[in-house]
Structure 1
């Protein structure tokens, strides 16, 4: 049984998280916004975590297409009852998309899933890179060490909740207290005039953004949503005498009510500040995303992931008014737990990712007349990869996976790390073709953190396992 300690500090921290506030004291001063704008954000940088919830199948995302690899792929991913989940059939008649990395891997050729045409274009243009076989690791691990088990392995491998938590916090779900995005935000928040808007989620509460001091600000839709009827006539009273604000944010002698009111007041003020900055600065030059076309049905519709990235772009557009120089964002897309109907479902999901990322790249290319692509970097993450073998018409939970890093500061058109052998029974096969990672999440994140401006000492604080790896910077950022 857990013992609860209803201390004032823990209560304030929890309430601030709900309000999107910060436990770092701040004073809202709307009059000072002009000064913040004057300071500008010449040194502005942002990183955006795009989390693919459910465990994206890497073998269908980045494919080895040399003769031996492709033969194994087709052999192991073709089943009598479902037909091939190789890249054929509905919406995929054009075949895979060949890519030519700058760093050749002897005897190997590669391609992207047909739904990823916009990301291939970014790769070819040098603004996208692939980081191969990334996964949760405590230390470099061999197949023999994995089979022996022990403390050197991440806990509860292949579990959605635990591996999502480990990816985002480097701890299991039961012990997770702060995410590495939040810990980065803790270290850079002092450079922002208003720490409240340092780490922002457009996809609900995110472990990734939970800091030790700074709390994530959560935003839904395309703008910061106010409390309804707060500044208008209510029950016949004039707006100036509206009792609602006093009810929810009025002072009290009772400690619980006093803290609740203080947090609510901060939330109200923060909403007003962000909405004003987004309206005055962020909305201009941020067009609505074009409709996304499902490759399986050819039906056009709104892409929710593109809308999340539109919101991120609008907040970035308001950076000067907010006095922000460093921001960490979180967006996500679900549905990647493709035990069934993988061939069609993953094609749809990857098309959404590619559509949203291409839209965002286009917006960053000319946000309010400025090309911000070298200052904004987006990277993908996911629970884990999947098995190489098929369960019939899908795949099961795996471990290592391939990921994209996208932005103008990325050393693109290349694959970082070694692409695993395609097949079964090799030195990285922990079962059914599930990959033993050769690159850790710590190394992946530390490379981004170094570009963001963190020192070597700060990186060790954010990524506790990085001390176990000799290569602490993978080199994919300029």
Structure 2
């Protein structure tokens, strides 16, 4: 946006996003579109996006292990210092973990050696895998890709742009994401829309809607304004004048709008503080220590702590007046150009530990099993190349992801699992996969379970009309 075009409305929209408020005075009112969702929203549901920042290596996350696939995997990934290979019983990564999906497509499969908890969830029917999903505008063949004869996602292989494409269907600079647009549609399900879309990992375009603004909190909750209710420069009466100054009305429209934003932020902080369940004893249990598989050192897993904050908010759902919520958590470090064997093994172990912790908390959240009502799904910038650079892998495209929860039709692989190797009809270079399932289809399946009416899916996923299959069937 040009500095000459930075309007009052844009300025206020930016401020309200920071304050986590609903921008209803300045945006289109979507209440009428929410009615159909509200009529079926008698129970609580939540979606939790776990974003793996940097581009997770799907080839070392979910592996085909039939003899043909495994031999090709060994041939191509046993290069250099073998830094990107998970051979059974060899190296720091140990042996892969076999799984038996119902739809095995005539092949055998396994998970990364550090995904033991996810294997257990998969085997029990509480987790599923979506194969080769990625950013697409429309179904695309390799010939069409090479000829650029169909519209392709902009700025492929770029971290910032593909993170934005995954979260919003547009490259970096997008103003709304599909999590936030779901918030718009289901707004009337919640008596307080301020708590519809919550990020525990900073600002995420995924959670910004046209009407709904994300609320950004920390793992401790929503920080209050310093000295608002305490002493100010040693004078106890300072709290009241401070609040009067920052929330007072005047003759200036900017001052009045700013005061309204601050007031809503103060109210949000106070409401959330009273609603969130406490952490630790008597509340939401703290995650167990996480042990680094490479060093054996036990420490706190920050991703698990983010998911603890999600659970603390979900526990306060009735006080907050919400029946539909979308959450965002993330973890960095997946750009494994180097030291992949050790780095990726550690990250897989952290993801596995965090998801297992969250599932155990949802199994008995303040005495209630919430697993049927809370679905966690993974996402990432892109997959990686099948070929190694001798020490890791480079930027790819399609990738495999997990969906976890009691409503998931688990123990299965959805979508088409690609041929293992290079130089096949989905290889756009170095074994980087041309996706066979779009992010729009992935998200639309989750949105349908969430309660979004079929006739509103295109409002959230602008390219969904280009795909024949709009529901991939992995949700009950």
TM-score (structure 1 length as normaliser): 0.93
Task: Tell me the secondary structure at the aligned position of residue 145 of structure 1.
Answer: helix
Is contact 1:13–1:23 with CA below 8 Å preserved after alignment?
yes
Residues 315/4 of structure 1: CA separation in 2 closer, same or farther (3 Å cut): farther
Shift of 1:241: 5.4
Task: Tell me the secondary structure at the aligned position of residue 79 of structure 1.
Answer: coil
1:155 equivalent in structure 2: 154
2:45 equivalent in structure 1: 45
* Pairing 1:174-189 to 2, within 5 Å after superposition: 174=173, 176-189=174-187
The reply to whether residue 60 of structure 1 matches residue 70 of structure 2 is no
Is contact 1:282–1:313 with CA below 8 Å preserved after alignment?
no
1:278 equivalent in structure 2: 276
Residues 161/6 of structure 1: CA separation in 2 closer, same or farther (3 Å cut): closer
Alpha-carbon distance in structure 2 between the residues aligned to 1:343 and 1:132: 22
Residues 271/67 of structure 1: CA separation in 2 closer, same or farther (3 Å cut): same
Shift of 1:196: 0.2
The reply to whether residue 228 of structure 1 matches residue 226 of structure 2 is yes
Task: Tell me the secondary structure at the aligned position of residue 111 of structure 1.
Answer: strand
2:2 equivalent in structure 1: 2
Structure 1 alignment gaps of length 5 or more = 27-40
Alpha-carbon distance in structure 1 between the residues aligned to 2:228 and 2:55: 42
What is the root-mean-square deviation in Å for CA atoms of aligned residues? 1.9
1:127 equivalent in structure 2: 126
Shift of 1:171: 0.9
Shift of 1:224: 1.8
Alpha-carbon distance in structure 2 between the residues aligned to 1:282 and 1:19: 28
1:334 equivalent in structure 2: 332
The reply to whether residue 386 of structure 1 matches residue 384 of structure 2 is yes
Shift of 1:242: 3.5
2:20 equivalent in structure 1: 20
Task: Tell me the secondary structure at the aligned position of residue 186 of structure 2.
Answer: helix
Is contact 2:93–2:341 with CA below 8 Å preserved after alignment?
no
Task: Tell me the secondary structure at the aligned position of residue 46 of structure 1.
Answer: strand
Shift of 1:324: 0.4
Task: Tell me the secondary structure at the aligned position of residue 73 of structure 2.
Answer: helix
1:198 equivalent in structure 2: 196
Task: Tell me the secondary structure at the aligned position of residue 138 of structure 1.
Answer: coil
Residues 3-58 of structure 1: per-residue CA shift (max 9 Å, x gap): 543443322211110111111369xxxxxxxxxxxxxx951000011100000000
Alpha-carbon distance in structure 1 between the residues aligned to 2:434 and 2:234: 66
Task: Tell me the secondary structure at the aligned position of residue 372 of structure 2.
Answer: helix
Task: Tell me the secondary structure at the aligned position of residue 167 of structure 1.
Answer: helix
Is contact 1:222–1:310 with CA below 8 Å preserved after alignment?
no
Shift of 1:248: 2.2
Shift of 1:255: 2.3
2:399 equivalent in structure 1: 401
Task: Tell me the secondary structure at the aligned position of residue 243 of structure 1.
Answer: helix
1:92 equivalent in structure 2: 93
Is contact 1:282–1:314 with CA below 8 Å preserved after alignment?
no
Shift of 1:173: 1.3
1:32 equivalent in structure 2: none
Residues 294-313 of structure 1: per-residue CA shift (max 9 Å, x gap): 11111110001001000000
Alpha-carbon distance in structure 2 between the residues aligned to 1:91 and 1:371: 37
Is contact 2:385–2:431 with CA below 8 Å preserved after alignment?
yes
TM-score (structure 2 length as normaliser): 0.93
Alpha-carbon distance in structure 1 between the residues aligned to 2:4 and 2:307: 38
1:376 equivalent in structure 2: 374
1:38 equivalent in structure 2: none
Is contact 2:83–2:390 with CA below 8 Å preserved after alignment?
no
Alpha-carbon distance in structure 2 between the residues aligned to 1:285 and 1:54: 33
Alpha-carbon distance in structure 1 between the residues aligned to 2:445 and 2:417: 19
* Pairing 1:341-380 to 2, within 5 Å after superposition: 341-380=339-378
2:77 equivalent in structure 1: 77
Is contact 2:100–2:411 with CA below 8 Å preserved after alignment?
yes
Task: Tell me the secondary structure at the aligned position of residue 374 of structure 1.
Answer: coil
1:300 equivalent in structure 2: 298
Structure 2 alignment gaps of length 5 or more = 27-40
1:30 equivalent in structure 2: none
Task: Tell me the secondary structure at the aligned position of residue 420 of structure 1.
Answer: coil
Shift of 1:228: 2.2
Shift of 1:260: 1.8
Residues 67-117 of structure 1: per-residue CA shift (max 9 Å, x gap): 11111111111224x235311555423x000000012211x1000001110
Task: Tell me the secondary structure at the aligned position of residue 115 of structure 1.
Answer: coil
Is contact 1:282–1:316 with CA below 8 Å preserved after alignment?
no
2:11 equivalent in structure 1: 11
